[in-house]
Chain A
Amino acid sequence: MTKPKSEYGADSITVLEGRDAVRKRPAMYIGSTSEIGLHHLVYEVVDNSVDEALAGFCDTIEVTIHIDNSITVIDNGRGIPVDIHKQEGRSAAEVVLTVLHAGGKFDSNSYKVSGGLHGVGVSCVNFLSEWLKLEIWRDGKTYEQEYKVGFPVAPLAETGKTTKRGTKITFRPDSDIFETTEYSFDKLSERLREKAFLNKGIRILIKDEREMPEKSHEFYYKGGIAEFVKHLNKNKSPLHEEPLYFEQVAEELSVEVSMQYNDSYDEKIFSFANNINTVDGGTHLSGFRGALTRTINAYAESSGLMKNSKTTLSGDDVREGLVAVISVKIPQPQFEGQTKGKLNSPVKGQVESFLNEKLGEFFEQNPNVAKKIVGKAVDAARAREAARKAREIVRKSALGTSTLPGKLADCQEKDPALSELYLVEGDSAGGCFSGDTRVALVDGRTLSFLELIEEERAGKHNYCYTIRRNGKIGVEKITNVRRTKREASVIKVVFDNGEEVICTPDHRFMLVDGTYKSACELLPTDSLMPLNRKFSNISEKGITIDGYEMVWDAKSRSWLFTHLISDWYNRFTNRYLKSDGDHCHHIDFNKLNNNPDNLVRLSKEAHLELHRRHAGKTLHRDDVISKCRELRKSPEFRSMMSSRMKEPTTRKILSTQAKAQWSDASYKNFMAARWREFYDNNADYRAANARQLADAQRKYWSEPANREKQADRTRDFFQRNPERKEELSLLARRQWQKSDLLEWRRKTTANQWTDEFRQSRKEALNKTYFRKTMSLLKEIEIEFGNLEVGVFQERRRQKNDRSILRFDKFCDRYFNGDQDKVAEAVKNYNHRIVRIEPMIERIDVFDLEVPRTHNFALASGVFVHNSAKQGRDRKNQAVLPLKGKILNVEKARFDKMLGHGEIKALITALGTGIGKDDFDLSKLRYHKVCLMTDADVDGSHIRTLLLTFFYRQMPELLEAGHIYIAQPPLYKVKKGKKEEYIKDEPQMFKYLMRQATSDVQVTAGGRSIEGRELSKFLEQTVEYGNYTSRFVRRLGNDMKLLEAILEAFAGRDGILANNNFRLRKIFQSEDLIAVVEGKIAEAGYRTELLSDDEHGLTEIEVTMPNGTKMVFDWNLASYVEFQKSVDLKKQLDATYSGPYVLGENGKSESFDSRADLFEKVMALAKKDLNIQRYKGLGEMNPEQLWETTMDPEKRTLLQVRIEDAIETDEIFTILMGDQVEPRRKFIEDNALDVKNLDV
């Protein structure tokens, strides 16, 4: 504290009157007449003493509450001046006690800084007290004076001698003024403690005489406000051990700051100016806050702690969990506001820059503490951001059902209790088209989706072209045309025929091989399945009817009559009666309307009769007649023109004119340039030209003499370059010298080339040949406008691709040598896309369903998937497809996660909202939420992610039993015509066992094993195999060693065969373990018995064939794999001894090992089975998915319990954790699948 400058004398006191004013409006001076004002009286007196202490004259203040609630405050300061005040003619002490705002503080010379909440001074206390007694010890004398209701009873009088120094004031608050006069010991203590904190070195004592025994506290803090902070944090867990403390002492401004974070989320900051608690803060607090925010942000930035955060740290973030005390001392502080709780002096800048410096310095020097503090602020910012996101999602979902996610295929049912939501992994299965997209109909029209909806509503059945499952073209009924989504984002696909389609990016297009590809993934090189139509022309070979629609069939590579396909459809769907006859008739006499509903079968007679009667509707129709007339006109005209041109006179004139022109060189050049221009710009001409050239070439090569010449040239080359010939032959010889290589090759080839293999290889090759050759032909056709065989052969040579066939060979193999058919097939081979354009505008989209085949042709000439049918019951089953997003984290690693959009879609679809204030279980839109994922690692990842999400963010769903796991089958097994779905691996094993054991006989050691026993025997054999193969890894994969050890323990003559020892006992007994050692030695290993001191046991050291040593000890034997192996072997060896004989169909075969027997049995079981393993839901067609997984009658749904979810979360935590990479992998490979199969 600063040193006193001058003596504290009577002349420094300014006089002001005001007893009556104070008593009239006490609240104006002390805040209130309630308990707060009452206590304030004490502080006012104490503050006087504190001022004395700050001035350096006093170090102890004593406060006593007497039994009548009167208060005594004693300090050991200089004592209030007693000399007579010049102006007043009274003692200075009396002035202090009777004049408002008197006291040293009014003169800035007296004290550097001074407090007192309202600066009213001790006179106020006097005015509001029933009585007040003053005792001053000063200069070895005692002075006393008494007051009643503010009036001195007598002047200050010297009453005795003393060695003490200081002032004692005792007062009793006036009960006429105060609502209560009862003091609170705790309240006073709290405030006095605060004063002790703020003024380090001052000792404040408080005593309560009202209670027996007396209560008392002594407050004395050397550490000052740092101890204050510790005190405030005493029931909290601090983030760092010691509070930060910074101090600056200066004439104009002293600053003291202490702060410490705890793990709570509240902030607690006390600010003081000249010991006054500035409850409303002020400039000093602003400076502190500014510096804190700035410095923490700067540190977060520079230390990289903010790397993953997108926002900066706000003031709230950096003050979370902060306890701080800031105290400034300034001469003549300025306050603001009614209660003067806010500092107004311009100190913000000084405080801020002081703290910026100090705090920055501290962070540099204490990086650990800095990290903790900044880390907490970063957490706070992230939480704030997360809360904002949660609110955002909720706000969006609260807008109503029209904002349901676009990908959601909702159900019709509105009652949540009856509704189900399937969360399906994978692409949205619901690709759709714009409403004006036109569909090609078999009745010769093309209708848009909107028009189709109209017609369907009116009851008309429309039919589309479709590719049947066998790859042939067919027709099929269109059903359920509808709008599927509002405001969907779409793309525009442009095809090579100039057509355009607007559809959702996920819509799937059919490729020529019958597979599908999403629109957004289409490449210009993809061959799309085309729809090509034409009218029959009677001039073509084999065509007897004219003007009928024909459609290209990609499977047979030929044109088919549409009406015959429709006719076939009618037969297939049993619309005809046997008695109907053979003639096919268009009911409306329009031969282009091939709608199956428009076709009937008639007898020949009836058909002809019908047409005779209705000739006016067909051949004699007006439009037909007029068309014919037009046609007749034109040839006459043309022949007339041509004969005129042929007249000799005309020709002569033209000829002479031409000759004259051509003699001019510039004209010649000009014409040549023009011709060149024409040639370059005229593809048709070039094509014709190229054709001529190609023909010439073909002709050339068809001459044997020419081919002979080329052969001569080759021969000649090698004769002239013998070294090249030698080189090549040497190379070949060298390669084939290695006999083992040859042998191996011969063997592998022989094994490989079964009839079946040959057949399938041939088919595959044929497909490849066709595809590649066709692609090249198509390429040439596009380029030249027709098939340039010469160019083809040339390109084929250039490409040097042996799967592109020679043209003639291609003709022979696939088209019976008919070149015209090849040309036709090339022309109709495919469509391609030219480009894909994203569309900014979002539109409503539509789809339809095609029963059985699930694809249809658009008018633009391509086939697309009908994706709407999802194997669900749209009445009450909704589907939300969720796509795992792939994240390429490192070069070799890909991570899978749920994207932000997926999470949002999920929450929105569920309808519950999210977060503390918004989650509402009663708003759940589906009471069954089923997770349906693929049976692979990705599928299990998505499931883990979803379950973890539910467990963490919506545990209420799990608790209420709303979450289920659907169980798509893992296998489809086909035996003959019978199909069966099998849920999982264990079921599959059981199934195979049933198959295997149904028609074989097995005997072990002469005993016949049958039925259930046989199954169990085989199961145990497999189990044994699994355990041993796991354990053998620990023995350096030495199977022989493992067998020797197991034999010693559990074989028929093994130690355990006739004794029920516990395994550990064998390692305890040197005799027993020696038996094991013997067996190992017998098997040809060098062994030694050692003592296993660690366990007090014996162990065997085995020298492996490669010289390394390994120890077989109790530790190894305690592995579950080993113990299970021992148990199983013991059991199996005891019950089933060899040899094992397998009988089937009268034949029998003998095996030495159980494993071989098992292999054979399995092979037999699988013999007649066609086993299909489903890797994904996409491999099942909608009917299958419905039948196996979604049909409430047949499905099994597993309800997820909270316990299951906790387990999943643990797995997830391990996977996500900072653990080493291998652990993640391991769990991914093992634990995850196993665990998840159990849930």
Chain B
Amino acid sequence: MPLVACPTCGKRAEYEGNEFRPFCSERCKLLDFGAWADEEYALPTQDTALSEEDVEQIERALREKQRQA
């Protein structure tokens, strides 16, 4: 498996053979666990209509992402 982005700090980290995968370090993994335990991860539930501009902006971002991939 290729490198993955460490969910906490974003650093590229080896996946295979990494004790703290997908994190780069024990620290980052712990911080993530702390965030779960402290209920810091929340996803927005209410959807409102998007403006044209918003859609443009997002699609640009996504295209950018695709190109990088």
Contact of B52 among A387, A1033, A1212 (CB under 8 A): A1033
Contact of B36 among A885, A894, A949, A1219 (CB under 8 A): A949
* Contact B31 A386, beta carbon cutoff 8 Å: yes
Which residues of B sit under 8 angstroms from A386, Cβ to Cβ?
Answer: 30-35, 37
* Contact A379 B61, beta carbon cutoff 8 Å: no
Contact of A893 among B39, B46, B50 (CB under 8 A): B46
Which residues of B sit under 8 angstroms from A892, Cβ to Cβ?
Answer: 46, 48
Contact of B29 among A385, A949, A952, A1219 (CB under 8 A): A952
Q: Quick check: is A1140 within 8 A (CB to CB) of the other chain?
A: no
* Contact A265 B22, beta carbon cutoff 8 Å: no
Q: Quick check: is A898 within 8 A (CB to CB) of the other chain?
A: yes
For chain A residues 1167-1212, which have a beta carbon within 8 Å of chain B? 1202, 1206, 1209-1210, 1212
* Chain B interface SS verdict (over half): mixed
* Contact A898 B41, beta carbon cutoff 8 Å: yes
Q: Knowing A886-B45, A1225-B44 are in contact, say whether A379-B27 is a contact too (CB < 8 A).
A: yes
* Contact A383 B44, beta carbon cutoff 8 Å: no
* Contact B22 A1209, beta carbon cutoff 8 Å: yes
The docked-state distance in angstroms from the alpha carbon of A379 to that of B25 is 13
Which residues of B sit under 8 angstroms from A951, Cβ to Cβ?
Answer: 22
* Contact B43 A385, beta carbon cutoff 8 Å: no
Contact with B along A876-909 (1 / 0, CB 8 A): 0000000001110100111111111001000000
The docked-state distance in angstroms from the alpha carbon of A951 to that of B22 is 8
Contact with A along B36-58 (1 / 0, CB 8 A): 11111111111110111011011
* Contact B32 A953, beta carbon cutoff 8 Å: yes
Contact of A895 among B1, B26, B44 (CB under 8 A): B44
Smallest CB-CB separation from B52: which chain A residue?
Answer: A1033
The docked-state distance in angstroms from the alpha carbon of A1219 to that of B65 is 14
Which residues of B sit under 8 angstroms from A1215, Cβ to Cβ?
Answer: 43-44
The docked-state distance in angstroms from the alpha carbon of A1225 to that of B36 is 22
The docked-state distance in angstroms from the alpha carbon of A897 to that of B44 is 9
Smallest CB-CB separation from B58: which chain A residue?
Answer: A1226
Q: Knowing A894-B46, A895-B45, A937-B47 are in contact, say whether A389-B27 is a contact too (CB < 8 A).
A: no
* Contact B44 A1229, beta carbon cutoff 8 Å: no
* Contact A885 B39, beta carbon cutoff 8 Å: yes
Which residues of B sit under 8 angstroms from A915, Cβ to Cβ?
Answer: 30, 33
Would you give the shortest CB distance from B61 to chain A, in whole angstroms? 6
Q: Quick check: is A390 within 8 A (CB to CB) of the other chain?
A: yes
Contact of A1213 among B7, B34, B42 (CB under 8 A): B7
Which residues of A sit under 8 angstroms from B44, Cβ to Cβ?
Answer: 893-896, 1215, 1224-1225, 1228
Q: Quick check: is A253 within 8 A (CB to CB) of the other chain?
A: no
The docked-state distance in angstroms from the alpha carbon of A945 to that of B32 is 13
* Contact A895 B33, beta carbon cutoff 8 Å: no
Which residues of A sit under 8 angstroms from B45, Cβ to Cβ?
Answer: 886, 893-896, 937-938, 941
Would you give the shortest CB distance from B13 to chain A, in whole angstroms? 12
Contact of B61 among A385, A944, A1210, A1223 (CB under 8 A): A1223
Which residues of A sit under 8 angstroms from B43, Cβ to Cβ?
Answer: 895-897, 941, 944-945, 1212, 1215-1216, 1228
Q: Knowing A894-B44, A1220-B57, A1228-B47 are in contact, say whether A914-B33 is a contact too (CB < 8 A).
A: yes
* Contact B31 A382, beta carbon cutoff 8 Å: yes
Contact with B along A283-321 (1 / 0, CB 8 A): 000000000000000000000000010000000000000
Total number of residue pairs linking A and B with CB closer than 8 Å: 136
The docked-state distance in angstroms from the alpha carbon of A1220 to that of B27 is 28
Smallest CB-CB separation from A938: which chain B residue?
Answer: B45
Which residues of B sit under 8 angstroms from A941, Cβ to Cβ?
Answer: 43, 45
Which residues of B sit under 8 angstroms from A1223, Cβ to Cβ?
Answer: 54, 57-58, 61
The docked-state distance in angstroms from the alpha carbon of A1202 to that of B2 is 12
Q: Quick check: is A955 within 8 A (CB to CB) of the other chain?
A: yes
Contact of A887 among B5, B19, B42 (CB under 8 A): B42
Contact of A897 among B4, B41, B50, B52 (CB under 8 A): B41
Q: Quick check: is A1147 within 8 A (CB to CB) of the other chain?
A: no
Would you give the shortest CB distance from A909 to chain B, in whole angstroms? 16
The docked-state distance in angstroms from the alpha carbon of A822 to that of B47 is 48
Q: Quick check: is A1146 within 8 A (CB to CB) of the other chain?
A: no
The docked-state distance in angstroms from the alpha carbon of A898 to that of B35 is 11
Which residues of B sit under 8 angstroms from A938, Cβ to Cβ?
Answer: 45
Q: Quick check: is A1222 within 8 A (CB to CB) of the other chain?
A: yes
Contact with B along A951-976 (1 / 0, CB 8 A): 11101000000000000000000000
* Chain A interface SS verdict (over half): helix
Which residues of B sit under 8 angstroms from A1228, Cβ to Cβ?
Answer: 43-44, 47
Which residues of B sit under 8 angstroms from A699, Cβ to Cβ?
Answer: none
Smallest CB-CB separation from B37: which chain A residue?
Answer: A389
* Contact A953 B33, beta carbon cutoff 8 Å: yes
* Contact A1222 B39, beta carbon cutoff 8 Å: no
For chain A residues 910-955, which have a beta carbon within 8 Å of chain B? 914-916, 937-938, 941, 944-945, 948-949, 951-953, 955
Smallest CB-CB separation from A1036: which chain B residue?
Answer: B52
Q: Knowing A900-B39, A955-B21 are in contact, say whether A1225-B50 is a contact too (CB < 8 A).
A: yes
* Contact A1226 B54, beta carbon cutoff 8 Å: yes
The docked-state distance in angstroms from the alpha carbon of A313 to that of B46 is 37
* Contact B55 A1226, beta carbon cutoff 8 Å: yes
Contact of A900 among B4, B22, B26, B37 (CB under 8 A): B37
Smallest CB-CB separation from A1222: which chain B residue?
Answer: B54
Would you give the shortest CB distance from B56 to chain A, in whole angstroms? 9
Q: Knowing A952-B7, A1226-B50, A1228-B47 are in contact, say whether A389-B39 is a contact too (CB < 8 A).
A: no
Contact of B42 among A265, A889, A953, A1033 (CB under 8 A): A889
The docked-state distance in angstroms from the alpha carbon of A896 to that of B26 is 27
Which residues of B sit under 8 angstroms from A889, Cβ to Cβ?
Answer: 42
Which residues of B sit under 8 angstroms from A308, Cβ to Cβ?
Answer: 38, 40
* Contact B32 A952, beta carbon cutoff 8 Å: yes
The docked-state distance in angstroms from the alpha carbon of A1225 to that of B46 is 9
Which residues of A sit under 8 angstroms from B19, Cβ to Cβ?
Answer: 916
Would you give the shortest CB distance from A373 to chain B, in whole angstroms? 16
Which residues of B sit under 8 angstroms from A1226, Cβ to Cβ?
Answer: 50, 54-55, 58
* Contact A1225 B34, beta carbon cutoff 8 Å: no
* Contact B33 A899, beta carbon cutoff 8 Å: no
The docked-state distance in angstroms from the alpha carbon of A899 to that of B39 is 6
The docked-state distance in angstroms from the alpha carbon of A895 to that of B46 is 8
* Contact A383 B42, beta carbon cutoff 8 Å: no
The docked-state distance in angstroms from the alpha carbon of A949 to that of B32 is 9
For chain A residues 365-397, which have a beta carbon within 8 Å of chain B? 379-380, 382-383, 385-387, 389-390
Q: Knowing A953-B29, A1222-B50 are in contact, say whether A389-B22 is a contact too (CB < 8 A).
A: no
Q: Knowing A955-B22, A1033-B52 are in contact, say whether A383-B31 is a contact too (CB < 8 A).
A: yes
The docked-state distance in angstroms from the alpha carbon of A1228 to that of B50 is 11
The docked-state distance in angstroms from the alpha carbon of A14 to that of B55 is 89
Q: Knowing A386-B33, A389-B33 are in contact, say whether A896-B4 is a contact too (CB < 8 A).
A: no
Would you give the shortest CB distance from B26 to chain A, in whole angstroms? 6
B5, B31, B36, B58: most-surrounded residue (chain A CB, <10 A): B36
Which residues of A sit under 8 angstroms from B27, Cβ to Cβ?
Answer: 265, 379-380, 383
What residues make up the interface of A, taking CB atoms closer than 8 Å to B?
A: 265, 308, 379-380, 382-383, 385-387, 389-390, 885-887, 889, 892-900, 903, 914-916, 937-938, 941, 944-945, 948-949, 951-953, 955, 1033, 1202, 1206, 1209-1210, 1212-1213, 1215-1216, 1219-1220, 1222-1229, 1231
Q: Can you identify 27 A-B contacts, CB atoms within 8 angstroms? A: A379-B31, A382-B34, A386-B31, A885-B39, A886-B45, A887-B42, A894-B44, A897-B39, A900-B37, A900-B38, A916-B29, A937-B45, A937-B47, A938-B45, A945-B43, A949-B36, A952-B7, A953-B32, A955-B21, A1202-B1, A1206-B22, A1210-B5, A1222-B54, A1224-B44, A1225-B50, A1226-B50, A1228-B47
- Given A389-B37, A1220-B57, 9 further pairs, Cβ under 8 A: A383-B30, A387-B30, A887-B42, A893-B45, A895-B45, A897-B42, A953-B29, A953-B33, A1227-B58
What residues make up the interface of B, taking CB atoms closer than 8 Å to A?
A: 1, 4-5, 7, 19-23, 26-27, 29-48, 50-52, 54-55, 57-58, 61-62
- Closest A-B pairs by Cβ, 8 of them: A386-B34, A895-B42, A1222-B54, A897-B42, A1226-B58, A383-B30, A386-B30, A389-B37
